[in-house]
Amino acid sequence: MKKILLLALLMAAAATPALAISRYNSMSFTCAEARAVINRERAVIMRYPSSRVRNMTLYDRFVSGSNACDVGYYAYQEYMPTKDRASCPVYTCRPSTDFDDDDTIFFRR
């Protein structure tokens, strides 16, 4: 009986959908459409052209907010190009201990 129950559980687990992250091309969306997709799915990977290196494609994971980030990470506002805007505001996850140039840094005296 235990073998049948274990086999049934394994089959049920294999039949559930995988929690894969969706991948999109940001240039095929308007800014509003891209933000709607990100908010609906909580996290997506977007492919977009580099603004600095010609013919280079960049990939990044964009999230709807801090609740889509792992523990110890927060949602940080970034920008990506879309069909209608060169800089569409979106969020990525950053470590809580990450300091940017614009953050206050305390020096030891």
Task: Name the residue ranges covered by the structural domains of the chain.
Answer: 19-95
d(C-alpha 46, C-alpha 48), whole Å = 6
State pTM to two decimals.
0.70
d(C-alpha 95, C-alpha 27), whole Å = 28
pLDDT tens readout for residues 1-38:
666 655 666 665 554 455 689 999 999 999 999 999 99
